[in-house]
Amino acid sequence: MSIGIISPHSLSLNNGSSVLSYNISQALSNKNMDVKLITIDVSSAIDEIKPNFLLYLYDERSRNTLLDPTKLYIMAMRDFEMISNIDVMHIIGNYNPFLVSFISHRLKKPALIHVHIRVHRSIAKVFSLLSLYRQLRINKVVATSINIARQINADDIILPPIDCHTFKPKRSINTINDASMLYLGPFQRFDILTMLKIMVILKRNFNVYSSLTMISRFSEDKELIPKILRLAAKFNLEGQVKAFVKILSLQEKINLLNESTFYVGLLKHNKNFPFVEPPISILEALSMGKPVISYDNIGLNSLPNDKSIIVLNSGAVNIKQAARIIADKINLLDQLSLSARKLALKNFSYEVISDKLIKIYNKLLNNLSD
């Protein structure tokens, strides 16, 4: 079976949709599927990702001469004669009706629409288009979380697949008796204050030493680093808090996760526009066997309830209760690591997600032949 995957963004390991497209392509190619990913341009990450699938690139600089970026995909597909050999088109994160109509009517290909939305307010933008898709040859719509699936009446839930072979625990953690926490994301004052207060309570009430490493990939966060360090000093946490702005390579991310005992997933706290799917970084951390500290409004209900996930109330975080839970978990790190790893292998590994997708592709082809 040949699958053509259309990615809406430049291929980068620091972009959610791009990681989703890349991981799905890799997962399917591992199952000996003929995969062709059509995308625009690539970042320097292409040197380290070394795809096993066939990658068709369209120079991003051409976007400056075209009003509709979607035309790039159409031009790219026309430029390559491979399109006639593709059995199913898999469209990720691009809901342009022109593109969908072209695939359905002009190319006569069945297609899978994969709805990937980060925040709740974006759902309305695609909801009105889905009825149109179902009237075309698009007879399958899947979503990346249960929250999205419920609101758009999706046919299935496909969590972002994680390469659990790459993201796996590298060493035993039973000798660790502190709380070494890693935070990857934009620097948000609410999140920072929450973690600093938890660190203070851990030391004062439970005699637990903690450290926090914060890394943002956004250049505008550089000016916040001195403020973060001054705030840490105010809480008497000098030397326990580090903050950097850097785009991490895959290996750097893995090394940082290995060195931590907890992963902090408090990304962009916003009670008005909650996340509707779990960030990929949280799934990667769980695959590495890291317990996750996160809010209840970032799509974690798409995952089974698991003791390796410490959920904080996004409306009013109970600092003392959160610190007590973390202190208790430190004595159970080996068990939590195994639980987190098992959660990943069972729910969003390459093998699990690729098997689900192949079943959906087969149903699309069977429907086409009926």
Residue 261 has pLDDT above 70, yes or no: yes
As a three-state string, the secondary structure of the chain is CEEEEECCCCECCCCHHHHHHHHHHHHHHHCCCEEEEEEECECCCHHHHCCCCEEEEECHHHHHHCCCCHHHHHHHHHHCHHHHHCCEEEEECCCCHHHHHHHHHHCCCCEEEEECCCEHHHHHHHHHHHHHHHHCCCCEEEECCHHHHHHHCCCEECCCCECCCCCCCCCCCCCCCCEEEEEECCCCHHHHHHHHHHHHHHHHHHCCCEEEEEEECCHHHHHHHHHHHHHHHHCCCCCCEEEEECCCCHHHHHHHHHHCCEEEECCCCCCCCCECCCCHHHHHHHHCCCCEEEECCECHHHCCCCCCEEEECCCCCCHHHHHHHHHHHHCCHHHHHHHHHHHHHHHCEHHHHHHHHHHHHHHHHHHHHC
Domain that holds residue 62: 2-161+349-369
Residues 339 and 357 occupy one common structural domain: no
Rounded to an integer, what distance in angstroms lies between the CA atom of residue 112 and that of residue 87? 11
Residues 246 and 365 occupy one common structural domain: no
Number of domains comprising the chain: 2
Residues 152 and 259 occupy one common structural domain: no
Residue 346: count other Cβ atoms within 10 Å of its Cβ: 10
Of 51-55, 267-271, 303-307, the range with the lowest mean pLDDT is 267-271
pLDDT band at 273 (very low <50, low <70, confident <90, very high): very low
Which range is most confident: 73-82, 86-95, 163-172, 337-346?
A: 337-346
Q: Render pLDDT for 277-287 as a digit per residue (tens, 0 to 9).
A: 678 889 999 99
- Rounded to two decimals, the pTM is 0.85
pLDDT band at 97 (very low <50, low <70, confident <90, very high): low
The answer as to whether 169 is a domain residue is no
Residues 364 and 296 occupy one common structural domain: no
pLDDT band at 175 (very low <50, low <70, confident <90, very high): very low
Residue 7: count other Cβ atoms within 10 Å of its Cβ: 25
- Give the per-residue pLDDT at 288: 95
Of 18-22, 250-254, 325-329, the range with the lowest mean pLDDT is 18-22
The stretch 240-249 carries a mean pLDDT of 91
- CATH code, domain carrying 286: 3.40.50.2000
- Give the per-residue pLDDT at 124: 55
Rounded to an integer, what distance in angstroms lies between the CA atom of residue 261 and that of residue 78? 49
Residues 325 and 355 occupy one common structural domain: no
Contact 303, 339 (CB under 8 A): no
Q: Render pLDDT for 46-71 as a digit per residue (tens, 0 to 9).
A: 555 667 777 766 655 444 443 355 56
Residues 210 and 143 occupy one common structural domain: no
Residues 240 and 343 occupy one common structural domain: yes
Mean pLDDT, the chain, whole residue set: 78
Residues 326 and 214 occupy one common structural domain: yes
Q: Which two tokens stand for residue 161?
A: 């697949």
Residues 188 and 82 occupy one common structural domain: no
Q: What percent of the chain has pLDDT over 90?
A: 31
Rounded to an integer, what distance in angstroms lies between the CA atom of residue 262 and that of residue 208? 14
pLDDT band at 154 (very low <50, low <70, confident <90, very high): confident
Rounded to an integer, what distance in angstroms lies between the CA atom of residue 214 and that of residue 254? 15
